[in-house]
Structure 1
Amino acid sequence: MLMPLEHFLRHLPSAFVHAHTRMVVGFSGGMDSTVLLHALLQAFGTRVHAVHVHHGLQADADAWAAQCSDVCRQWQVPLDVVHVQVTENGHGLEAAARDARHAAFAGVLQSGDAVVLAHHQDDQAETFLLHALRGSGPDGLSAMPAWQARGDTFVWRPLLDVPRAQLEDYARTHALTWIEDPSNASTRFDRNYLRNTVFPLLQARWPQAAAALAHAAELQSETRVQHDVRTAQQLDACRLPGADLSVDALMRFAVQDRARMLRAWVNTLGLPPLGRAHLQHIERDVLAARHDAEPAFNWGNAQILRWRDVLHASLRAAPMSMPVVPWDGQRPYPLPDGRQWRLSLPLTFPQAYTVVSRKGGERIQLPGRRHRTEVKKLLQAMGVPVWQRKPLMLLVDASGEVHAIPGLAMSETLSKWLQAQGAELVIDAKIDPATLD
């Protein structure tokens, strides 16, 4: 026997929801969100608000917004109509529209609001099957959560255990009217093909197909939680000071474990997710590289770098742009990262110097050495990780020869002059590896 729809609206987590929490419904005007808005209004009255996101992707978008306004006016529900521009983000139109919706909601939500969405059991089943056909693992196959926190607001999906047929019965019983999006009938889209062609066949043979697939998605969620706990423990065993990982420790785990660990690692760093092909490249080209190699893997605007036993991940820094301005030492020299280079005494250098970004191929003659040393080899010998080398600034003379690397090295010529003057070349903040990431 099916539970009344109102039953699913009573299960609110008391830890998050209080008596004044606004129920902000994502109201497209379609059947699902119309039923949800109507049922919530019966349960929560004036606490219910609505947001209609005007994507502008359909010729009837203006008419849909007007119809949503009419419904909310009739039901006395406050409505925000938010116009967005959907910009292709490289992950498909559906993902771009979803990002636009998130941004639209963020603009109208207040602290403590609950965003209420009309995803139902059939949506859960379709998403599971769609991701399974794409070869997804537990992350992709996991069920949409009924409740989740997003900053200081919350997302609630009260209808995840409700089949679409029950929503249709509710709509007919209450004589509701709604918008029919003509694109829903097009089997050009994968989800519509599953909904309109595949699921009717499945349910003709297995009437509980949607419920069974939705249950399978919940089981995958439980598996993912277990994996997440285990992966976090494994990552802790590989962590070095800061956010880097030990390659030697990482390689003690199985390939499948490493894949989960690397995905979780880059996620904690706020970097783009790693796909299967990305992980294969990292295994082959980075983790399996020689110990003395310095391999790198780039994806999107991010990078993973290896130096000896250390694995480092970060966003790729934009090249620093510095004007080529001679520096005589009389005034502090401002660096792009906000620090400044200065002489400890009011002096003028004995020759003209310029501060430049390191590009590669530079050389420096160290104190007590007859020959000049390549800066790259010096940094390697000093144990400076590769991700800390590229953003370094250098003090060079007119010929391009290096006379100082801040906090690390100084040429014999400059060193002798400073000693004779009783002065030092200092940087206001010592080099902190974190500032060079």
Structure 2
Amino acid sequence: MGQSMIDLPSRLLLNLAAWRNARNWRVAFSGGLDSTVLLHLLAHLAKTESLPTLSAIHIHHGLQAAADAWPEHCQAVCDALSIPLQVERVKVQPGASLERAARDARYAVFGSVNQSNDVLLTGQHRDDQAETLLFRLLRGAGVRGLSAMPAQRPLGQGTLVRPLLDVTRAELEAYAAAHQLQWIEDPSNEDRQLSRNYLRHQIVPLLTGRWPQAQANMARSAAHLREAQGLLDELAQIDLAHAKASTDFDWLGVPSLELAPLAALSGARQRNALSHWLEPLTRLPDTDHWSGWADLCDAANDASPVWRLADGELHRSAGRLWWLSGDWLRAPVIGGEWHTPTSPLRLSGNGVVVFSGQMPCGPLRIAYRQGGELMHLADRGHRDLKRLLNERAVPAFVRGRLPLLFRGEELLAVANLPGLDGNAQDGWKLHWQPTDEDQGLR
């Protein structure tokens, strides 16, 4: 018996089997057809099945006058089903695509409420999957984009699950009619200026008129592409494993990769591995912007090239790639006198410094490299700081923010660099915790 022959409640339970032990099931409830059917199905299953705690969440975007009545409608539906409803109002940032901005605002709320072992359930179905594939194909998406919508993915501290992806819109309409459900018709769904609506109302009916199985086949293609993306991800992990050798600078807490193992790969494998690595850190560049990667690789050995991306920068230094974002991209503000060296000194935009052992006598101050500094080493006399940093292969982006300890004009220590970070004879060291912000995970 094919899965489409199994009744809708049984199929839904089958698709949710892996999450039966979750703490909460929360339905993203717009009040439209898909989420109304999903909520109704779950409310009725909960009467005979032991399910996680069920609730609903409605996001009010306030983008059109008609929407003001929707929270009330959703509340009435939830009251009738005895399901608690949370209504969240969001402000949508105006931008190039209002649809995208509204979606971003919606998912930001979903992510913030989704705690550990929570599942957020959304009502997208097979027709949506086919439209997504078609829409992305027309925008020139790669394998990842053409995988369309995954049936599950991490969201917030929990999981987002789409349990109706193998159900057609027609099946949902039939269920709604059989149970006399009332739902909201969003006026914007009729606006043919919106690309998705144009595809839904104008293009897909033409395709299914000629090829009745078009949507099922497109959804199947999306599943094949998702499998292909899985293989690409596995390949990326293999390639990245070779580039993740540790360094003397792991204490920086900056994500980094060794360049040579990556540069030895074919161009396509380089881009695949790097996309996989960058994905949690930044919005990825489109095809045209990958020339920045070639420039980074091809720059002369003594250069310090930078590739600017949406949410940070990729720097090449000391034979490695370094992902910098947040405070790392801002010049640190010089701190000045360190009046109570017994307690840690917080540096503006540059973490914290602290002493261990017997402190040198003052007056002490923390400053940053300006150029021309000399340091006296017990066994080597006065040495140029630039040369000392070169000897230790200190990455270029760190040099201007390494805390330097001065007594008057005398350079006493360079934080964290073995041999330069204190005085072995007097038994003290200068420690630097570079930044206490989460490095870049968006």
TM-score normalised by structure 2 residue count: 0.82
Alpha-carbon offset, residue 235 of structure 1: 1.0
Map of 1:10-409 to 2, 5 A cutoff?
10-12=13-15, 14-18=17-21, 22-45=24-47, 47-88=53-94, 92-106=97-111, 108-109=113-114, 111-150=116-155, 153-241=158-246, 242=250, 243-267=255-279, 270-283=281-294, 285-316=295-326, 317=328, 318-325=330-337, 334-336=345-347, 337-341=351-355, 344=358, 347-348=361-362, 354-358=365-369, 360-364=370-374, 366=376, 373=384, 375-395=385-405, 404-408=413-417
The letter for the 1-side match of 2:291 is Q
What is the CA distance between 1:150 and its match in structure 2? Answer: 3.9
RMSD: 3.4
Could you say if the C-alpha distance between residues 246 and 206 of structure 1 is closer, same or farther in structure 2, counting changes exceeding 3 Å?
A: same
How far residue 94 of structure 1 moved from its aligned partner, in angstroms, is: 2.8
TM-aligned CA deviation for residue 139 of structure 1:
0.8
* AA partner of residue 45 (structure 2): A
CA deviation after TM superposition for structure 1 residue 50, in Å: 1.8
> What one-letter code is carried by the residue in structure 2 that aligns with 1:273?
L
Distance 2:240 2:435 in 1: 20
CA distance in 2, matches of 1:372, 1:291: 25
CA distance in 1, matches of 2:256, 2:112: 36
Distance 1:72 1:24 in 2: 12
Q: How far, CA to CA, are the matches of 1:372 and 1:204 in structure 2? A: 80
Distance 1:53 1:346, change over 3 A: closer
Task: Return the offset for 1:65.
Answer: 1.0
Deviations 1:208-261 (A, max 9, x none): 111111111000000001111111111112222155322221111111110011
Amino acid at match of 1:83: R
Maintained 8 Å contact 1:366/1:372: yes
Name the CA shift for 1:263/1:107 in 2 (closer, same or farther; >3 Å): closer
- Give the secondary-structure state (helix, strand or coil) at the position aligned to 1:304: strand
In structure 2, relative to structure 1, the CA distance for the partners of 1:425 and 1:122 (3 Å cut) is same
- Counterpart Cα distance in 1 of 2:344 and 2:35: 60
1:343/1:97 CA distance change after superposition, 3 Å: same
Letter in 1 for 2:69: A
Q: Could you list the runs of 5+ residues in structure 2 that have no partner in the other structure?
A: none
SS in 2 for 1:303: strand
CA distance in 2, matches of 1:103, 1:308: 37
Is the partner of 2:323 in helix, strand or coil? strand
1:30·1:181 contact (CA, 8 Å) conserved in 2?
yes
The 3 A distance-change label for structure 1 pair 148 and 310 is: closer
Structure-2 separation of matches of 1:121 and 1:170:
15
Q: Please say which structure displays the higher CA radius of gyration.
A: 1
Distance, in Å, in 1 between the alignment partners of 2:256 and 2:113 is 38
**Secondary structure of the equivalent of 1:253?**
coil
Is contact 2:151–2:163 with CA below 8 Å preserved after alignment?
yes
The letter of the residue matching 1:338 is: V
TM-score by length of 1: 0.83
The whole-number CA distance in structure 1 between the counterparts of 2:16 and 2:36 is 24
Higher mean C-alpha deviation, range 298-307 or range 107-116 = 107-116
Instruction: Evaluate the alpha carbon distance shift between residue 41 and residue 434 of structure 1 in structure 2; reply closer, same or farther with a 3 A threshold.
Output: closer
* Counterpart Cα distance in 2 of 1:178 and 1:166: 15
> Partners of 1:36 and 1:407 in 2: how far apart?
57
Residue identity opposite 1:31 in structure 2: L
For these two proteins, the number of residue pairs brought into alignment is 417
Q: For the residues of structure 2 that align with 1:75 and 1:184, how far apart are their CA atoms?
A: 26
Preserved CA contact (<8 Å) 1:64 1:179: yes
Q: CA deviation at 1:381?
A: 3.4
Query: Would the aligned equivalents of 1:332 and 1:342 in 2 still touch at CA under 8 Å?
Result: no
Q: Which runs of 5+ in 1 are unaligned?
A: none
**In structure 2, distance between residues paired with 1:306 and 1:249:** 14
- Residues 326 and 150 (structure 1 numbering): CA distance in 2 closer, same or farther, change over 3 Å? closer
- Paired with 1:79 and 1:121, the residues of 2 have a C-alpha distance of 26
Q: Deviation string for 1:343-395 (max 9, x for gaps)?
A: 8356346xxx642233x43432655989983x445422331122321321234
Cα displacement (A) at 1:301 = 3.7
Residue type matched to 2:140 in 1?
A: G
1:382-425 per-residue CA deviation (whole Å, 9 max, x = no partner) reads 31122321321234577x785643355999xxx9xx89xx7466
Larger displacement relative to structure 2 (310-319 or 191-200): 310-319
Output the amino acid matched with 2:316: R
Percent identity over the alignment is 34
